[in-house]
Structure 1
């Protein structure tokens, strides 16, 4: 079996590659970063380290690497790959889809008809739909017909973390990466119409995939945002330190209660499923072996404060369920004051807040009325954080 991984970051070359290697699958990487491509070419192997369980480390070797714009490499790859995994970030799916679509069209012009499964591994609400739409913009109607009958596009939920080296760890090989000790990749099995489910250990092609992507985003992303933004205000550098902080931990516990009730009501997921999501998420963010910076989690707060994203989205769901989203409102208040100076989004958010006021942030960034119940909860939370001196320098 041959697999393609598009995106050589921590999830692509780390988590996904380690699962494939354990299945003895041949791997070819594609990436946009020329320096990363050179590192792949220079080093014949690298290690995927398992945090807290080094005996499970995986050596990745005998791979191939290509730049994303190498059309000849795409010509070869599309004819031999059985399954493609994307790990490029949801906002890059449109540009990636156009590249795949263009190369698929060129394959058809050579009278090749590539047939494969394409699995998105993105932290995104509708990755499969977005990628398929972008691919098909490059295809004529007849080509779309062929594509839809030979390619299945489905989506996975990434529940494992990929991190940088633990503190004090010496990194000799720049490709080495560290992943959480977690060994499952749930994939939406119902989206496979043209192919059988691959027989791969650790890859769970589930017919009951359902709302797992939404559950993941509104459980994991919401709770880690709460930890990161509150931790940033307290001057805490790492996620695990913040999640275990005596002031933040009770807010996090309340946050999971709000999230659970919101998602059970709004998504119609089972209580058992949602509680399991919360348990796994909480254990992950409290795990000191997983080294992740609150600044990395907090970056791009304008996007993360949008009306359908990880804070405002579940806050509204909670209110629909009759739940007062106190903890999520505190997290949102903290996010509004995330002012990391090296992040352009944070700088712009600070500018809006300081020149136009909190109401402008709530309406322009969060997409909620300044007079709404949720807006008032967030403003009350801002006052509370100021009273506790978590927000400093303002009356």
Structure 2
């Protein structure tokens, strides 16, 4: 009787265990189905196949539960065998489908070794690991059940599959969390100017030897449904009605915006943020009264003309490659305001889907009281979809712009070549292409890449009908947290200047109020690069210096660079690792008197060379410098020095923001000591990465008046809630290239690295000054900055 009662209770509990096992397997099937469905872009056929197979597995698994008993039978039930077989088929199908899609993506985007930080690689790696480990157990269990009666080994192997499944799933989630945290810092790869950030690709802005573009990864079907690497997204037709007065902004304000891929901060810059005011260019500090303007009284048209809006048939189309911060907040915004329907092309499918879903986003102007503009009449396509570009080319396309980063620019050659071929076949009129990248003559680099994709006849057509206009673009776009994926925050200042001589007359010839043309573009390109970018980088590099080393207390001194005559004998002082910045944000750094003085001195040094070379008046350039320093000190913009300063090697290239103005000063015999300090601080740049552990609000726009500033006895409205933030510093370096610089110094010494970067001789006075500055800043950290400035003033 006791044995009988035990057997009943055992059988009941065994059924409970079997039910839990069914639920566990069902959850695994759901995860596998969702993952495969997502990778295939919500393909309904894939979903139907996996659901059918999964349901069959779960149903078969459920049917054998009532027959579960503690005691072993002499024969494995057919239902159990069928369940095992269906499980194997399901897991193998899912693994094969993901492997096929992943391999296709890897072939399209280049060598596997360069894609290990990609989310698709992570899914592939973790999925393959899961499949291989679990399959060993499930297949072994199935084989044993076929060849032998039920026994201990089959049961133990089968029992292991569920906990292993949980462990491997948890492992994937943890790895996904780590990947997300890294990507949130990298901003999907965008540098401090907002360009796409690719730490393994370093390209000279003046070089035409750039990576070839990847082959197309997707196609558009005849019913206008885009099939992508990850699946299908709706594709809007571009035959728009021609409204008499197209609106780009929902607000009554003159501000407008549009999207790109998400970029970082300054433009020339994550690769997608910007928005432009339809106000006079002079109002934003563009150098009013300068003799370089062709005509400041009227905006540039898409064909380079002023004053005429051009005839309107269908609504004109502007194609913007890159839906990041600069693309959305600046370039696309200006084009949207001009009356274009802006089509954003981007590789980030979530952003493409969000643009097509919402058709608008908000632009937050980071100045004073809260100011929000809504940008409308936008759509998006994946930038690998050649068929989509063919359809766009057949419409009223008049201008193509880019904001993807100089490293990615050559990859646009295939789609642009497809557009040119289509327009040639359709006998369409001219279009203009303006590469808005933080690199010199980026449009010419793009032109050379496109020419390689064209036949001789197509190149001849392009010479007559495609205008490649070089430009200078400027807007700081810091990281900005919003609930909406598309919303961006930007500073109020912007500047977009194009080479008037390269623009073709288009039809329709649409006014673009935010774009200004000049016959002397080089002056404005260098002014922006050697002032804004130089100042931004020095601020970041000096702010990233750590506090003084403990051993430095006895060696502090006010050393004058002007009196340095010999380099440090060691030249190999190498910091032991990443350091916590003394001033984590640009705002904190520029508010330090010592740092601000050095930055201001550097901008006046480069400014004197710019004035002599390009004919700017002293008053004009002084005003320009003052506005830039004020932009850095904007209290509404919290930009980290770790982000603004990243990729120091790129910033130390010849002709870039440091060596460019230094060489100009050398040629003209002008002082350049603050610029040399900037070079030294760039070599020491290696801040730790930090993550936000907690953010809380102490107020809002409408409450807690006691926390607001009081003027004339009345609390003032704040631009934003008062935030309390807590940060955690990680041991990991914030920038891979900064780590590479340290490794170079450890191997070659400071002198060797400087000679490689500058081509200066070892006894060059400028090289000696940089080495001496490096040694002092290395020993004293941020405390050494003030001493140097005292020396500069003596």
Structures share fold, TM-score greater than 0.5: yes
Q: What is the aligned partner in structure 2 of residue 52 from structure 1?
A: 367
Partner SS state of residue 247, structure 1: helix
Give 1:64's aligned residue.
Answer: 379
**Residue 69 of structure 1: SS of its match in structure 2?**
coil
Q: Aligned in 2, Cα 1:210/1:350: closer, same or farther, shift over 3 Å? A: closer
Please report how far the alpha carbon of residue 184 of structure 1 lies from its aligned counterpart in structure 2 after TM superposition. Answer: 4.3
* Pair 1:192-2:503 in alignment: yes
CA distance in 1, matches of 2:370, 2:736: 40
Q: In terms of mean alpha carbon deviation, does 269-278 or 88-97 score higher?
A: 269-278
Aligned equivalents of 1:47, 1:372: Cα separation in 2: 52
Equivalent position of 1:101 in the other structure? 417
Does 2:664 correspond to 1:317? yes
Match of 2:447 in 1: 132
Residue of structure 1 in register with 2:681 after alignment: 334
- CA contact 1:362–1:369 (8 Å) conserved in 2: no
Q: Secondary structure at the match of 2:650?
A: helix
Change in Cα spacing, 1:38 to 1:92, as seen in structure 2 (3 Å) is same
Q: Does the CA contact (< 8 Å) of 2:338 and 2:511 recur in 1?
A: no
Could you tell me which residue of structure 2 aligns to residue 206 of structure 1? 518
| Partners of 1:134 and 1:348 in 2: CA distance | 29
3-state DSSP class of the match of 1:161? Answer: coil
Q: Distance in 2 between matches of 1:241 and 1:209?
A: 34
Alignment pair present for 1:216 and 2:528: yes
Distance (whole Å) between structure 2 residues aligned to residue 54 and residue 29 of structure 1: 30
Shift of 1:267: 4.6
Report the alpha carbon displacement of residue 111 of structure 1 after superposing the two structures with TM: 3.9
Pair 1:389–1:279, CA change in 2 (3 A): closer
Report the equivalent of 2:702: none
1:389 aligned to 2:788? Answer: no
**Is the 2:364–2:487 Cα contact (8 Å) retained in structure 1?**
yes
Cα deviation, residue 77, structure 1 = 1.4
> 1:99 deviation in Å?
3.3
User: How many residues are aligned here?
Assistant: 387
The alpha-carbon deviation at position 134 of structure 1 amounts to: 1.3
Q: 1:44 to 1:192 in 2, by over 3 A?
A: closer
Among 766, 773, 777, the alignment partner of 1:374 is 766
Structure 1, unmatched stretches of 5+, are none
Please say if 1:118 is aligned against 2:433: yes
Going from structure 1 to structure 2, the CA distance change for 1:224 and 1:322 (only over 3 Å counts) comes to same
CA offset at residue 150 of structure 1?
A: 1.3
C-alpha displacement at 1:92, in angstroms?
A: 2.0
CA separation in 1, counterparts of 2:640 and 2:678? 17
- Residue number in structure 2 paired with 1:357: 749
* Structure 1 residue 314, shift from structure 2 partner: 1.2
In the alignment, which of 297, 300, 303 is matched to residue 647 of structure 2?
A: 300
**CA 32–366 in structure 1, closer or farther in 2 if over 3 Å, else same:** farther
Q: Is the 2:393–2:422 contact (alpha carbons within 8 Å) kept by the matching residues of 1?
A: no
| Residues in 2 aligned to 1:247 and 1:391: alpha-carbon distance in whole angstroms | 9
Q: Does structure 1 retain, via aligned residues, the 8 Å contact 2:436–2:472?
A: yes
Q: In the alignment, does 2:588 pair up with 1:241?
A: yes
Residue from 337, 341, 351 that aligns with 1:22: 337
Task: State whether structure 2 residue 736 is matched by structure 1 residue 344.
Answer: yes
CA–CA separation in structure 2 for the residues paired with 1:342 and 1:240: 19
Conserved 8 A contact 1:104-1:114:
no
> 2:344–2:379: 8 Å Cα contact kept in structure 1?
yes
Aligned: 1:173 with 2:484: yes
Is the contact made by 1:29 and 1:64 (CA closer than 8 Å) also made in structure 2? yes
1:70–1:114 CA distance, 2 compared to 1 (3 A)? farther
Name the TM-score, length of structure 1 as normaliser. Answer: 0.90
Say which one has the larger Rg.
2
Which residue is equivalent to 2:715? none
Give the aligned partner of residue 256 of structure 1: 603
Do structure 1's residue 83 and structure 2's residue 394 form an aligned pair?
Answer: no
Secondary structure of residue in 2 paired with 1:211: helix
CA separation in 1, counterparts of 2:419 and 2:335? 24
User: Structure 1: how far apart are the matches of 2:429 and 2:511?
Assistant: 20
Query: What is the correspondence of 1:252-291 to structure 2 with a 5 Å cutoff?
Result: 252-267=599-614, 269-291=616-638
Alpha-carbon displacement from aligned partner over 1:75-112 (angstroms, at most 9, x marks no partner) = 1212221111111112222222343124423553x444
Aligned pair in 2 of structure 1 residues 183, 295: CA closer, same or farther (>3 Å)? Answer: closer
Q: Distance in 1 between matches of 2:670 and 2:404?
A: 35
Separation in 1, partners of 2:359, 2:419: 28
